[in-house]
C-alpha cells in the first residue's frame, strides 16, 4: 500500500449488532495507518419520524467519471435525519449518481431493517441507452431478487 498516496476506509454503522466488527476494523485501520470513517446511516421514516437503518449497496461500471469515496460518503451522510420513504431515498440516490457520473451501468439497493415484521428492500438500476448495459439493466432488474442472499443487517 506504500505506492498509494492516501488510503481511506469507510464503515457504515446502520444500527447493526456487530459493534465488535466495527471496533476491530477501526483498530486494523489504525495499525495500517488508514484513515477510517464510520458513518451512521440512520434515516427518519416519512410518516413515523422514527429512525430507519439501512445498508446501501451501490455498484457501478464507470464511463469517464468515477465517484470519490469522500464525496460519496458526504453525500450519503446527508441522508442522516432525512425524512422520506425508503424507495424514494434509493431512487434519488440512483438518479443523482446517474446525473453526476453518467455511468455505463449503476445499481442501488437498500436493505432496510424491518418495521412491523415487514422488510422493504428497494432496488433501482440504470444502463446507458444504446449500449449493452441497457440490456444488462433490464435483465438485472428482473432477476435481482429471485434468489435472495442471506441478509445480515437484520
Q: Which residues are annotated as a binding site for substrate?
A: 67-69
| Rounded Cα gap, residues 124 and 94, in angstroms | 7
| Rounded Cα gap, residues 14 and 21, in angstroms | 13
Tell me the Ramachandran region of residue 52: left when phi exceeds 0, alpha when psi lies from -120 to 50, beta otherwise.
beta
The C-alpha angle 36, 112, 66, rounded to 5 degrees, equals: 50
| Rounded Cα gap, residues 89 and 42, in angstroms | 12
| Binding annotation | 67-69
Active site residues per annotation:
52
| Rounded Cα gap, residues 51 and 86, in angstroms | 12
Amino acid at each position: 500500500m506504500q505506492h498509494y498516496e492516501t488510503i481511506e476506509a469507510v464503515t457504515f454503522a446502520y444500527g447493526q449488532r456487530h459493534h465488535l466488527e466495527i471496533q476491530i476494523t477501526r483498530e486494523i485501520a489504525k495499525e495500517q495507518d488508514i484513515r477510517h470513517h464510520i458513518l451512521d446511516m440512520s434515516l427518519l421514516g416519512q410518516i413515523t419520524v422514527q429512525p430507519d437503518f439501512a445498508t446501501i449497496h451501490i455498484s457501478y461500471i464507470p464511463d469517464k467519471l468515477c465517484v470519490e469515496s469522500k464525496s460519496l460518503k458526504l453525500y450519503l451522510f446527508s441522508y442522516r435525519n432525512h425524512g422520506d420513504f425508503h424507495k424514494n431515498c434509493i431512487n434519488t440516490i440512483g438518479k443523482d449518481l446517474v446525473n453526476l457520473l453518467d455511468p455505463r451501468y449503476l445499481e442501488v439497493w437498500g436493505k432496510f431493517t424491518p418495521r412491523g415484521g415487514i422488510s422493504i428492500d428497494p432496488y433501482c438500476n440504470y444502463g446507458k441507452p444504446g449500449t449493452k448495459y441497457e440490456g444488462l439493466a433490464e435483465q438485472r432488474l428482473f432477476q435481482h431478487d429471485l434468489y435472495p442472499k442471506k441478509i445480515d443487517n437484520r
